[in-house]
Structure 1
Amino acid sequence: MSPLTITLLVLVFTIIAFVSGKIPFSVVSIFIILTLIMAKVLAPAQALAGFIDTNVVLIISMFVIGAGLTKTSLLDKIQAIVLKYKDKPKMIILVGCSVSGILAIITSGPATMAIMIPLLAAIAKETGMSRSKILFPASALANICVGMTFLGQGAANLTWNKVMLNAGGEIPFTFWDFTTARIPVVIIALIYMVFIGHKLLLNTPNDQFADSVQLKDTKSKLSPLKEKIAFVIIILTIISIILYSYTKIPMYVSGCVGAALLVIFGILSEKEGIASIHLPTIFLFGGVLALSEALKVTGAGNVIANWIVSVLGNTTNPYIIMSVFFLIPLIMTQVMSNVATIAIFVPLVAASAVKIGVDPRAAVMGVIIASCTSILTPMASPTQTLVMAPGGYTIKDYFKCGLPLVIAITIASVIWLPLIFPFYQ
């Protein structure tokens, strides 16, 4: 069997494994790496290079930075803001969604909802507003905002940028491209949920919920001095990363120094720092980078790119091209992890864009945004799964409230992304 065929079979298996949701990311990643090594598609050093990639090291350090931030009084202040508007339903939805989005940018979608579910459920109980009206909107914003910066899960943006360049892209993304590209989407999502979305959701009385969700104690466990030290370390780390092109300090070095200082000064214990690192995600990136390299060296990426190009035909219309690149991952992300969807489609879409002679940035950014718009089913992401029982939702509720927003985000992205990342230079 040729290396190209083996690589395509590994890709097919990876897609099936991610869609099924039955096989852990780490196991899929190890399978990818071992198969590519044993089949001699890649040398061991090539296949394992993802684990020592500087972008992956940065991702690890940013998990620790995010954990340090959640130990401060930030969450306590957020709780106070939400409670301030407890008598105004629309303001509760606006503030709840905004806070969820901010927390998701700092950490991740599941971590955000683990914090927000008890907080919002308690507020709903106190005000008489059904929790069903607020939990799904908050979880949707948490999904949509993930990866808007390089904090938390957004540290992976550097990996997607590298994968795009490996596929033949010539112009890299800047840090703020990921924020700029999402701003219209976030605004649309907020407006929709505040004025339309919540009206399409259940109005289940809170006393009909059988669970015992309580308001979580989010007060900082740090002393005033340690909290100040934590903020100084985190802020300086972020500034150093932003200014890396001027300071010449590698981003992963700044991240690692910041993470180490949080432990040294007692903001986090060693155990808390290690526990904050999501190892399945790290394994996923290791396997994805190996598969990306195999797609490149065997020409498998070009084979798939040719198929996508054949779907596009001879069109040069940027909106038709963008629609195809956006809709395929958008559909797939409703039945599998958004991270997995991004991992599979970024190299394929980037290669396809290069193949037809266009700048791949809009297409790749489209994949990332589409993959994070995983709100139509409870299995689309852990963030959506978390709110299903506390909100009393069915799959119909996800679809009824989520579909109009997904359509609006699709239209906005297809128009907006080619404007800020022109296909033709």
Structure 2
Amino acid sequence: MNQLTICLVICVLTVISYAWGKLKMGTTALLSMVAFVVTGCIEPKAAVANFSNTNAVMMLSMFVVAAGFNRTQFVKKCASSVNHIARGSLTMVMLGYVLITIILCQFIQSSMVVFGIMAPTLAASCEELNIKPSKVMFPLVIVCIATISVLPLGSGATVFAELNGYLQANEYTVYTVGLMDSMKARLPMLIAVAVYVIFFAVRFAPDEPQAALGELREKKVTKSVLPPFQEKAGYLIFILVTLGLIFQKALGLDIWVISLTGAVLMVVTGVLSEQEAVEAVPWWMGFLFIGSLTMGGALTATGAGEAVGGVLAGAIGMLGNKYLIGLVFFIVPFLLTQVMMNRSVMTIFIPIAILACKSMEANPVGIIILVQCACLSSFMTPMATPAVPMCMAAGGYDLKSLIRQSLLPAVLLCAVNVGWIMTVFPM
């Protein structure tokens, strides 16, 4: 077997092991990582480098920051205020958190960061209402992932320039992407996601956690009230970390530096003890993320993504219907980005979309925005994006419960995006 085939076989076996559940997910991730290295699907140096990935550092640091925030009374007071305004209605609670999350997603180009900010308070709100975190964490992460950079604010204001860069690189500048085009294309999807999460998603979420809970929610153990200094320090650090992540580019700091600094300050100021900080980190989730990075790297290194893209490009000429073409360009990247980094998938499929449209002398604007939508909507597997493992730890989901909740919103995203975008941006 060639390395491409070996890589795909390892990927399939890894997914089977996740679904089987006999091995811990972190163990499966590390075993697949070893398999990729031993079979030559990825260089050892590239695999080891994933242990120092900045997203992994940031993700694990945010658990410590959130645990410190949960030790304060501030988070309980915020949650109580939200519940008071919502009058105890879970629907109204979700409405408030969804609106705040959508706003944050326009300024912070990381679903993982937004989830890390929103999850502790939502968990506290639900605990006060005697609702398990398994009912709300996956609905929250869908919003965090699918609504990033929809509006032309913050990072969303640069989307059109990035897409025009792809057009220029592939020498097809007859058409250009306008500043408002991405919002025009994705706004119906944002509305559909918000409506689904507020009114329907919690109905399909499990009533009880299916796996061990992480520390983004408060443990149900009695803890002493923090002294005044530590109390104030806890929520001040969390607020400063949040502001730092929002204005990260203006500050000129990497997001992992901001998160790690916040985590260290939680210990230095005495909000958390060293033992509490260590216990706050779900290490299995870190191993899961590192394993998923290795899988994505192996798929890229062996050319699996390009192979899928080549087959897709060859099939496009046989499709005469614009909606069928749009469907293919959404579904294939959407599925591939569940196991590969979204940037890697975009790098492969946006040029393919442009070249396919160029050969047909068609308008590529709608298609390339559709590909972008597909790549930014990966929430079906723990390998999809770092926010998903965080969500699994916070909500206590196993792979089966994750996929079960993913199917309906995935169909919804596909139908809304393909139907709307291919109508308003005809080829």
Per-residue CA shift, 1:307-364, capped at 9, x if unaligned?
344554566988655533544687x7xxxxxxx9733474556534444447977535
1:77 aligns with 2:73: no
Q: What whole-Å deviation, never above 9, does each CA across 1:29-53 have from its counterpart, x for those lacking one?
A: 2122211222233332122111112
Q: Are residues 1:269 and 2:273 paired?
A: yes
Change (3 A) 1:189 1:4: closer
What amino acid sits opposite 1:66 in the alignment? A
CA contact (8 A) 1:149 1:179 kept: no
1:267 is paired with a residue whose SS is coil
Specify the code of the residue in structure 1 equivalent to 2:379.
S
**Is the 1:141–1:189 Cα contact (8 Å) retained in structure 2?**
no
Letter in 2 for 1:227: E
Letter in 1 for 2:283: L
Residue identity opposite 1:351 in structure 2:
I
Contact 1:75 1:218 in 2 (8 A): no
> Offset at 1:186?
5.6
**Is the CA contact 1:140–1:384 (under 8 Å) kept in the aligned structure 2?**
no
Secondary structure at the counterpart of residue 129 of structure 2: helix
The 1-side partners of 2:323 and 2:121 are apart by 34
1:95 and 2:93 correspond: yes
Partner of 2:303: 299
Q: Which amino acid letter does the alignment assign opposite residue 276 of structure 1? A: A
SS in structure 1 of the partner of residue 270 of structure 2 = coil
**Cα distance, 1:13–1:305 mapped onto 2, change above 3 Å:** farther
Q: CA deviation at 1:260?
A: 0.4
Asked if 1:324 is matched to 2:332, the reply is no
Given residue 79 of structure 2, which amino acid in structure 1 is its aligned partner?
Answer: I
1:408 to 1:31, Cα distance in 2 relative to 1, 3 A: closer
Q: 8 Å contact 2:60–2:286 — kept in the other structure?
A: yes
Distance 1:386 1:279, change over 3 A: closer
Equivalent AA in structure 2 for residue 141 of structure 1 = P
| In structure 2, distance between residues paired with 1:14 and 1:283 | 14
Q: Which is further off, 248-257 or 46-55?
A: 248-257
Which residue of the other structure, out of 140, 143, 159, is the alignment partner of 1:142? Answer: 140
CA contact (8 A) 1:25 1:280 kept: yes
Shift in alpha-carbon separation, 1:233–1:365, aligned structure 2, 3 A: farther
Which ranges of structure 1 fall in alignment gaps of 5 or more residues? Answer: 123-130, 151-167, 172-177, 202-215, 333-339, 375-380, 388-394
* SS at structure 2 position matched to 1:77: helix
Can you list the C-alpha shifts for 1:197-223, whole angstroms capped at 9, x where unaligned? 49999xxxxxxxxxxxxxx89999434
TM-score by length of 1: 0.62
Q: Is the 8 A contact 1:143 1:373 kept in 2?
A: no
Relative distance call for 1:345 and 1:143 in structure 2 (3 A) is same
2:287 to 283, 287, 295: 283
Tell me the CA shift for residue 18 of structure 1.
Answer: 3.3
Measure how far apart 1:261 and its partner are. Answer: 0.7
Answer whether contact 2:25 2:288 (CA < 8 A) is retained. yes
Alignment: residue pair count: 354
Distance 1:413 1:217, change over 3 A: farther
| 1-structure distance, mates of 2:203, 2:55 | 41
In the alignment, what sits opposite 1:120? 129
1:86 is aligned to 2:90: no
Q: 1:248 aligns with which of 236, 247, 252?
A: 252
Name the amino acid aligned to 1:74. Answer: V
| Amino acid aligned to 1:75 | K
Write out aligned runs for 1:348-387 (5 A): 351-357=348-354, 362-363=370-371, 365-369=373-377, 371=379
Paired with 2:25 and 2:8, the residues of 1 have a C-alpha distance of 19
Amino acid at match of 1:55: N
C-alpha displacement of 1:265? 0.5
**1:164 corresponding residue in structure 2:** none
Contact 1:233 1:261 in 2 (8 A): yes
Report the CA distance between 1:264 and its aligned residue: 0.5
Task: State which drifts further: 92-101 or 67-76.
Answer: 92-101
2: CA distance, partners of 1:423 / 1:2? 41
> 1:343 pairs with 324, 327, 339, which one?
339
Distance in 2 (CA, whole Å) between partners of 1:315 and 1:413 is 19
- Give the residue type in structure 1 aligned to 2:33: I
TM-aligned CA deviation for residue 268 of structure 1: 1.9
Residue 68 of structure 1 corresponds to which residue in structure 2? 68
Conserved 8 A contact 2:66-2:116: yes
CA distance in 2, matches of 1:385, 1:306: 38
Asked if structure 1 preserves the Cα contact closer than 8 Å seen for 2:296 and 2:341, the reply is no
* 1:296–1:276 CA distance, 2 compared to 1 (3 A): same
| Correspondence list, 1:43-58, <5 A | 43-58=43-58
| CA gap 1:386/1:255 in 2 versus in 1, 3 angstroms | closer
Residue 256 of structure 1, CA deviation: 1.4
Q: Are 1:110 and 1:382, in contact at CA under 8 Å, matched by a contact in 2? A: no
Give CA-to-partner distance per residue, 1:227-248, whole Å, 9 cap, x none: 3322332333333344444443
